Amino acid sequence: MKIAILKEMHPKEQRVAISPDAVKKFTALGADVVIEAGAGLGSAIADSSFQDAGASIAKDAAAACDNADVVLCVQAPTDDQLALIPAGALLVGSLAPLDVTTDLSRYNDKKLTTFSMELLPRISRAQSMDVLSSQSNLAGYRAVIDAVAQFGKVIPMMMTAAGTVPPAKVLVLGAGVAGLQAIATAKRLGAIVSAFDVRPAVKEQVQSLGAKFVEVPAEEADGETAGGYAKEMSEDYKRKQSELIHETLKSQDICISTALIPGKPAPELITEVMLKDMKDGSVIVDLAVASGGNCKSSKLDSIVTKHGVQIIGYSNMPSRAAVDASPLYARNLYNFVSTLMFTKEKTFLVNWEDELITGTLLTKDGATVHPMVSQIKGAAA
């Protein structure tokens, strides 16, 4: 069993799909791990650290892919990389299957068996494999750090001989995994934090972190689907929500927006009128920018200033914490591959019946087999 890992080629991608710890674990299962030279450098992992853990270093992507059975990746491979992956191999990574620009026929033409980790069912057994959680958590942390770095004001209250500096106010929109970590990070720095979400179930979690939960008084109180995700809300709810966010934003110094609805464009929560009424110099970090943005003025991978408000739109926040993001991502992939593709006797055997396999299996034998994805994108593409 040969497992190959290539250097990530997407711009702004510093992460790598393997860590020295994961190399040791895969090798203990009897796999040969081959890593393209320099693949870990963006995450501060030298080739020698991978070698010390038991991996071989290949001089280029072609050598790494030669005879590979499994290829692990963070983002989808480029066309050039895909051409090197042996037909029929297994590809495991975050393949963004629902992204409009994602062309699944690339995998079907080569009869690759692909697994997209974003599709992993969010059940207890899958928690240790959940790349969305491990990476969103770091994104929430990093969003606050980036906002603070961009901001000309200190965060905690400071009582000095020259006068008192009031604490900064931070509003978090969307209290999922990223939002909860943003709340915790802003609290640790000494900010006064409030948060808003359409799912009332998160109220207790927000309050337990010491933040105030901003609630929309509405008849349609529950914005949660059976799967625990947010659903799209009624027009009446959206209007009330908009008024409340508008009023709250007027007094905030930093806003971290994380609101997403699976399979849909991100809800627009921060309008131009709201920006006009925000304090000069305040900062918004739009973590939903890659899905259209919670603030329409945010711009992918840029910082723009509008009506005196700085809006940060970094598309790949986990990559900005790559030194921690890569080992956590690698651990998620190891847990997935080892649990579902190796037997207790250390032989490679995919458990095709397991719901975690069927939940993530994207393409197989030349067709897109994931029910939801093939319904949206068609079986061939």
Task: List interacting residues with ligand NAD (CB under 6 A).
Answer: 122-124, 126-127, 130, 132-133, 136, 173-179, 196-199, 228-230, 258-262, 267, 269
* Least distance (Å) between residue 342 CB and ligand NAD: 22
Q: Which C-beta is closer to ligand NAD: that of 190 or that of 292?
A: 292
* Least distance (Å) between residue 348 CB and ligand NAD: 26
* Known active-site residue 141: no
* Known active-site residue 334: no
Q: Which C-beta is closer to ligand NAD: that of 53 or that of 260?
A: 260
Q: Which C-beta is closer to ligand NAD: that of 143 or that of 230?
A: 230
* Known active-site residue 146: no
Q: Which C-beta is closer to ligand NAD: that of 80 or that of 232?
A: 232
Q: Which C-beta is closer to ligand NAD: that of 30 or that of 228?
A: 228
Catalytic position from the list 21, 48, 66, 122: 122
Catalytic position from the list 188, 229, 277, 354: 229
Q: Which C-beta is closer to ligand NAD: that of 9 or that of 244?
A: 244
* Known active-site residue 43: no
* Least distance (Å) between residue 69 CB and ligand NAD: 28
194 CB-near residues (< 8 Å, 6+ apart): 169, 170, 171, 172, 211, 212, 213, 214, 248
Helix/strand/coil (H/E/C) assignment for every residue in the chain: CEEEECCCCCCCCCCCCCCHHHHHHHHHCCCEEEEECCCCHHHCCCHHHHHHHCCEEECCHHHHHCCCCEEEEEECCCHHHHHHCCCCCEEEEECCCCCCCCCCHHHHHCCCEEEEHHHCCCCHHHHHHCHHHHHHHHHHHHHHHHHHHHCCCCCCCEEECCEEECCCEEEEECCCHHHHHHHHHHHHCCCEEEEECCCHHHHHHHHHCCCEEECCCCCCCCCECCCCCECCCCHHHHHHHHHHHHHHHCCCCEEEECCCCCCCCCCCCECHHHHHHCCCCCEEEECCHHHCCCECCCCCCCEEEECCEEEECCCCCHHHHHHHHHHHHHHHHHHHHHHHHECCCCCECCCCCCHHHHHHEEEECCEECCHHHHHHHCCCC
Phi, psi of 15 (to 5 degrees): -80, 165
* Least distance (Å) between residue 129 CB and ligand NAD: 9
Catalytic position from the list 130, 146, 197, 253: 130
Catalytic position from the list 19, 94, 133, 374: 133
* Least distance (Å) between residue 168 CB and ligand NAD: 21
Q: Which C-beta is closer to ligand NAD: that of 146 or that of 197?
A: 197
157: how many CB neighbours lie within 10 A of its CB?
Answer: 13
Catalytic position from the list 127, 208, 234, 302: 127
Measured over the CA atoms of residue 252, residue 149, residue 177 and residue 121, the dihedral's sign is positive
Measured from each CB, the residue nearest to ligand NAD is 176
* Least distance (Å) between residue 361 CB and ligand NAD: 18
* Least distance (Å) between residue 331 CB and ligand NAD: 15
* Known active-site residue 133: yes
Rounded to whole angstroms, the Cα distance separating 249 from 261 reads: 22
- Positions marked active-site: 122, 127, 130, 133, 229
